[in-house]
Amino acid sequence: TLDLTCRKTPCFAKFREMEKKASMQAEIDEVQPVLLSVTIDSTLHFHFVGKKCKMLQDMNRHLEAVLKNEKALKKRLLKPRCQDSLPIEATFHKYIAQLLTEAVTFIEKFENHLQAVRTIPQMPNMMQDMDTALAKTEVLTMELEKLVDQIMKWRDMQKQLYSD
């Protein structure tokens, strides 16, 4: 009769099942974010790899087109451009060369003048800074004169002490 009454109660069996389910759910909860981050990382990696691959393919196509037209490009580069767009008689070449040098000097002077015009709005601030710097310099000069007078007095005193 003891053996018959000592059977396993179903409430403990359900408790064990619930415990197993809870532990399995905890494991799933731990693994799920890791799987999600790995999936996102791999997706992003493939996305950027795809973009880089496409850029490299475009660059490769461009370089292939350049290589196909290499002879035409060399020909165009060797051909002087000024004869096509600016036909000038030989007698005027000297004047054109002078004109170009004068144009360069004009551009340089023009840039200097533009720089001067750009600094005009800043002049009041610059003048104020210069005034404060001048005032500080005057104060330092007065202090230096005082120090020189003190040094001269000290020197005279030292001469008198040594002479005595």
Condensed to tens digits (0 to 9), the pLDDT of residues 82-117 reads 555 566 777 888 888 888 899 999 999 999 999 888
Residues 80 and 86 sit within 8 Å (Cβ to Cβ): no
Distance CA 76, CA 68 (A): 14
Residue ranges of the domains in the chain? 10-81, 88-120, 128-163
* Of 63 and 138, the one with more pLDDT: 138
What pLDDT is recorded for position 153?
Answer: 95
pLDDT in tens, 33-45: 777 787 877 777 7
Question: Three-state DSSP class for 69?
Answer: coil
The whole-number average pLDDT for the span 22-49 is: 79
Q: Which pLDDT score, from 0 to 100, does residue 8 have?
A: 55
The number of angstroms, rounded, from the C-alpha of 119 to the middle of its chain's C-alpha atoms is 27
Residue pair 96/88 in contact by the 8 Å Cβ criterion: yes
Angle between helices 10-68 and 70-78 (to 10 degrees): 50
